[in-house]
Amino acid sequence: MNKKTIFIIVLTVSMITMAFARGQGRNRANRVHTFDVTAPVDITGKITKVETVTNGKGRRGSGIHLTVADGDKQLPIRLGPSAYLDSNRWEFKEGENITVKAFKGTGNDNGVFFASHITRNGEQLTLRDQNGFPKWSRGMNGQRMGANRTAGRRGCGNRFNR
């Protein structure tokens, strides 16, 4: 074999190795969640557990998970990124009564609920639209990225009232 052939083989093996290495070590935070948007459910109850789950990217990479007692059932509910909830000034405490409109998880997410709207003390926060698309993907305060630019700031003001 000549040097050119050896170089091509080494390069090809290196690229394949790097491609496989990229897929290794992914955690649950990087996977895609699946849920059924055709039949949202209403959950009304008392918060029994508030969890901040991180994916190793600091506060911006953390999410809020709740457990809500609805009758005799303890239901796991996934809200969204802590930064989105913070930007909308929403905090959750055990013992609070809330109503959640949520999508039921499917596949690996079976048994888990993904919040679409939360109502508490007459205030409402929208987390996902009717198609399950997260509001934080539009910017951390629910607006399109780059909307309402004022003095170099992105997303001044809040389109979604709590």
pLDDT value of residue 51: 94
pLDDT value of residue 73: 92
Q: Domain spanning 32-138: which superfamily?
A: Nucleic acid-binding proteins (2.40.50.140)
pLDDT digits (tens, 9 = 90+) for 64-114: 999 999 989 999 999 999 989 999 999 999 999 999 999 999 888 889 999
pLDDT value of residue 156: 32
Picking from 58-62, 73-77, 129-133, which range would have the lowest pLDDT averaged per residue? 58-62
Alpha-carbon span 4 to 9, nearest angstrom: 9
Contact, 162 vs 88, CB < 8 A?
Answer: yes
Contact, 51 vs 124, CB < 8 A?
Answer: no
pTM above 0.75, yes or no: no
Domain ranges of the chain: 32-138
pLDDT digits (tens, 9 = 90+) for 11-42: 777 777 665 554 443 444 445 678 889 999 99
Specify the higher pLDDT residue, 96 or 2.
96
